[in-house]
C-alpha cells in the first residue's frame, strides 16, 4: 500500500521490489498492520515524506510479522516480531545518541511508514535486529496492538516521573477520548488500581462496554459537568476546548498529558486562562508522542496482563490487503481497524 505524500487520493495497491538489505538483515512476512489516524492523514495528503529519491512511500507503522530469515540476529524462523517505528537522526542529537530517539531534539529522525523510510504495509519487510521486538505468539493477531500501546506506556512512564516532583498519591484518573489510544490508556490506568473515568462523545456502541469491562466509569457530555477533580488526565483528542476543560478540572498539583493532535490554535483568551491555571494550580501539562525500545517492552507487559477477550474487542474490523481503502474509511463504531494479510 503506497501513497504520494502530500497528494490526497494517491493511495493504491502496488507491485514493488523486494525490500532492500539497507533496511535490515531480518526478513519478515507480514501478518497484520494496524491503521490509525496518522495513516488516514498521510493518505489524505496532509503530511508524510517519501524515501529520498522516491515519489511513493509504503504506508504502515503498526506492524506484526513472522520472521522468514533471521540472518545473524538471534531471532528464529517463525518468531512473531513488531518493528520499532522511529530511527535516530544521523548527527545524532544528545537524546538520539543516548537511545532516546523518541525525544529527538533536532527533528532529523526518520519513521517507518511516515517520514523518509518505507513502512510495513507490504507482504514482506526488512528490519535491523536492534529495531525488532519479539512478541508472544499467544497474542496472535493482537500483537499488532503493541505499537499503539507503546504510546501510552511512554506517557505513563513520564507521568510517573513528573509525579515525583512532590508527595504524590494519585487517586483519580480521567482519560478524554475513547479511541484506541484512550482505551489503552484506560487499560494501563486500571492496572494501577486507581479510580478511572473515560469521557467520549458517543453514547452507544462498543466503547462504553469496553470501559465498563475494565471496572472504569464511562461518561459522555460536557467534562465540566462531571464533577471530577482528577489527579491525572490523559487527553487523547487534541481538541483545544477539551484540553482547556481538562486543565480546569485537574486537581491542584495534577498532571495533564496530551497525546492527541487536533485542529490548530485555541482563542488567545483561553490560552491566557490556561496559563493562569497552570501557574495557580501547579499543574504540569506535557505532550507525549512515539516511543523508544524500552517502551515496547513495557507495552508487551501491559498486553500480557490484559484480558485477551477485552483486547479482541478493540479490533472492530479486519480487511484484506485488496480492500485496504476500506481500512482508511472510519466507521461510527470503529476502534482499531486492521489489515489482515492472511485475508485475500
Q: What is the pLDDT of residues 327-343, one digit of tens each?
A: 999 888 999 999 999 87
% of the chain exceeding 70 in pLDDT: 95
CB neighbourhood size of 165 (10 A): 11
Look at residue 270 and tell me whether its pLDDT is greater than 90: no
Convert the pLDDT of each residue in 87-104 to its tens digit. 999 999 999 999 999 999
Give the containing element (helix H, strand E) for 314. Answer: helix 308-314
Contact between 100 and 147 under an 8 Å Cβ cutoff? The reply is no
For residue 275, the model assigns a pLDDT of: 64
How much is the average pLDDT of 272-284? 72
Alpha carbons within 13 A on the beta-carbon side of 169: 1
**pLDDT at residue 260 in the model:** 84
pTM of structure: 0.93
Q: What is the CATH number of domain 2-135+308-340?
A: 3.90.180.10
pLDDT tens for residues 168-204? 899 999 999 999 999 999 999 999 888 999 999 999 9
The upper half-sphere exposure of residue 286, i.e. CA atoms within 13 Å in the direction of its Cβ, equals 18
What is the rounded distance in angstroms from the CA atom of residue 64 to the CA atom of residue 49? 23
Cα angle for residues 324, 23, 62 (degrees, 5° grid): 35
* Mean pLDDT to the nearest integer, 110-118: 97
Total length of the chain? 344
Q: What is the pLDDT of residues 41-95, one digit of tens each?
A: 999 999 999 999 999 999 999 999 999 999 999 999 999 999 999 999 999 999 9
**Dist. CA 197–CA 233, nearest whole Å:** 10
In angstroms, rounded to a whole number, what is the distance separating the alpha carbons of residues 8 and 153? Answer: 32
Domains 2-135+308-340 and 150-287 share a fold: no
Per-residue pLDDT for 266 more than 60?
A: no
Spatial separation of the C-alpha atoms in residues 6 and 44, rounded to whole Å: 8
d(CA 344, CA 182): 31
Report the greatest alpha carbon distance in the chain.
Answer: 58
Q: What is the pLDDT of residue 343?
A: 79
Mean pLDDT of the chain: 93
pLDDT of residue 66: 98
The rounded radius of gyration (Å) of the Cα atoms in the chain is 20
Q: What per-residue confidence (pLDDT) applies to 77? A: 98
**Quick one: pLDDT at residue 271?**
54
Grid coordinates representing 88?
535516530
pLDDT tens digits, one per residue of 146-164:
999 999 999 999 999 999 9
- Specify the pairing of strand 284-287 against strand 315-319: unpaired
Q: How far apart are CA 248 and CA 74, in angstroms?
A: 50
Question: What is the CA angle 245-247-248, rounded to 5?
Answer: 65
Domains of the chain by residue range: 2-135+308-340, 150-287
Query: What integer pLDDT is reported at residue 95 of this predicted model?
Result: 95
Could you read off the pLDDT of 204-229 as tens digits, one per residue? 999 999 999 999 999 999 999 999 99
262-267 mean pLDDT: 54
Give the span between the Cα atoms of 333 and 321, in whole angstroms. Answer: 21
Place of cell 495534577: 254
Provide the pairing of β-strand 57-58 with 2-3: antiparallel
> 150-287, what's its fold?
Rossmann fold (3.40.50)
Produce one character per residue of 305-341: b if its CB has 16 or more CB atoms within 10 Å, e if not.
Answer: ebeeeebebbbbbbbebeebeebbeeeeebbbbbbbb
Which residue in this structure is represented by grid cell 518505507? 118
SS3 annotation, 219-263: ECCCHHHCCCCCCEEEECCCCHHHHHHHHHHCCCCCEEEECCCCC
Per-residue pLDDT of 304-319, as tens digits, reads 999 999 999 999 999 9
**Res 268 pLDDT > 60:** no
**Distance from C-alpha of 21 to C-alpha of 41, rounded to nearest angstrom:** 29
Q: 77 exposed, middle or buried (CB, 10 Å; 0-12, 13-18, 19+)?
A: exposed
d(CA 277, CA 283): 7
Amino acid at each position: 500500500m503506497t501513497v504520494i505524500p502530500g497528494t490526497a487520493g494517491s493511495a493504491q495497491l502496488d507491485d514493488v521490489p523486494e525490500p532492500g538489505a539497507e533496511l535490515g538483515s531480518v526478513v519478515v512476512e507480514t501478518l497484520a498492520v494496524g491503521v490509525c489516524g496518522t495513516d488516514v492523514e498521510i493518505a489524505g495528503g496532509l503530511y508524510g515524506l517519501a524515501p529520498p529519491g522516491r515519489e511513493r512511500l509504503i504506508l504502515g507503522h503498526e506492524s506484526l510479522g513472522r520472521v522468514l530469515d533471521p540472518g545473524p540476529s538471534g531471532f528464529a524462523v517463525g518468531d512473531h516480531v513488531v518493528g520499532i517505528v522511529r530511527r535516530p537522526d544521523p548527527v545524532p542529537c544528545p537524546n538520539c545518541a543516548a537511545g532516546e530517539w523518541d525525544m529527538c531534539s533536532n527533528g532529523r529522525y526518520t519513521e517507518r511508514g511516515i517520514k523518509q523510510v518505507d513502512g510495513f504495509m507490504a507482504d514482506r519487510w526488512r528490519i535491523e535486529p536492534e529495531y525488532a521486538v519479539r512478541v508472544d505468539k499467544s497474542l496472535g493477531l493482537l500483537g499488532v496492538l503493541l505499537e499503539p500501546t507503546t504510546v501510552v506506556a511512554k506517557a505513563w512512564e513520564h507521568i510517573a516521573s513528573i509525579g515525583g516532583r512532590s508527595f504524590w498519591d494519585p487517586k483519580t484518573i480521567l482519560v478524554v477520548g475513547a479511541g484506541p489510544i484512550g482505551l489503552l490508556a484506560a487499560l494501563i490506568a486500571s492496572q494501577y488500581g486507581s479510580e478511572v473515568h473515560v469521557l467520549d462523545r458517543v453514547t452507544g456502541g462498543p466503547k462504553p462496554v469496553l470501559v465498563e469491562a475494565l471496572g472504569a466509569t464511562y461518561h459522555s457530555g460536557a467534562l465540566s459537568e462531571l464533577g471530577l477533580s482528577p489527579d491525572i488526565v490523559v487527553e487523547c483528542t487534541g481538541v483545544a476546548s477539551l484540553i482547556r476543560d481538562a486543565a480546569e478540572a485537574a486537581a491542584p498539583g495534577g498532571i495533564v498529558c496530551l497525546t492527541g493532535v487536533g485542529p490548530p490554535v485555541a482563542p488567545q483568551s483561553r490560552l491566557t486562562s490556561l496559563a493562569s491555571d497552570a501557574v495557580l494550580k501547579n499543574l504540569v501539562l506535557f505532550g507525549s508522542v512515539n516511543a523508544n525500545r524500552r517502551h515496547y517492552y513495557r507495552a508487551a507487559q501491559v498486553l500480557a496482563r490484559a484480558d485477551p477477550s477485552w483486547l479482541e474487542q478493540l479490533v472492530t474490523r479486519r480487511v484484506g490487503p485488496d480492500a485496504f481503502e476500506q481500512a482508511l474509511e472510519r466507521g461510527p463504531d470503529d476502534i482499531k481497524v486492521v489489515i489482515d494479510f492472511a485475508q485475500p
